[in-house]
Amino acid sequence: MVKKSARSYRREESLSRDRIVEASIALLDSEGEDGLTFRALSERLATGAGAIYWHIPNKGELLTAVCDAIISRTMREVAAEVTPEANLREVALSLFDTIDAHPWVGSALMRIPSQMPMVRIIERLGQQARALGVRDEEQWATVGTLLSYILGVGGQNAANGQLARTRGIDRTDFLEEVATAWSQLDPGEYPFTLSLAGKLRAHDDRQDFLDGFDLILRGIKSALRS
């Protein structure tokens, strides 16, 4: 076995796992998932790739660690001393904001369903569903529905924002373009879509997300009374 030198140990101690995770978050936010390489990370940290491997052996584990840091931070910031319904709304909105701020989180979560980041979310949703009074046989379907909505809508919103930034598209201009196109639809064939044209110009993605989540919550609460 090759013994590590005192100098090597000092370098690895100063280059903590936390430093690697925080640098990875910054790199992912600025360059996206494709930009997260051990070479790019070593350049950002001014160290060798070997020193990083000493703490985290591969990119898969690195992504899990980075995603877990983001999700655990988000969960800690959600107030616990509120009603189950309010807690669920706050969890959902906090995750929506987190995925919007870190677009790579949504896709990363979907690839690691058995790992701690996803477990943290499922556990929080499950505990609140139980506290809300959801029957045992309906808890998994309830949590699965809430989880799918949060990650699906949150992930799509983040992807839309990322695409707009990449292409230099202004959100207001984009909505105006779509609204104008919808307003010219045949009222006989597309009456519903046509009716949304004016609302589209001023709609709020975050509020739309919360409105949809509240709709699901109302359905859950209605089922509890049946």
- The packing angle between helices 17-31 and 38-45, to 10°, is 110
> How far apart are the C-alpha atoms of 17 and 146, rounded to whole Å?
32
Burial class (CB in 10 A: 0-12, 13-18, 19+), 167: exposed
Model pLDDT, residue 160: 80
Say whether pLDDT at 118 is over 90. yes
Q: What are the chain's domains?
A: 87-225 (1.10.357.10)
pLDDT of 197 > 70? The answer is: yes
- pLDDT at residue 124, as a whole number: 95
| pTM of this structure | 0.85
In the numeric block, the tokens 């509890």 are attached to: 224
- Separation CA 159–CA 101 (nearest Å): 11
Instruction: Give the pLDDT confidence score for residue 127 in this predicted structure.
Output: 95
Mean pLDDT over 177-194 rounds to 93
Q: pLDDT tier at 3 (50, 70, 90 boundaries)?
A: very low
Share of the chain above pLDDT 70, in %: 94
Q: What is the pLDDT of residues 70-103, one digit of tens each?
A: 999 999 988 777 899 999 999 999 999 999 999 9
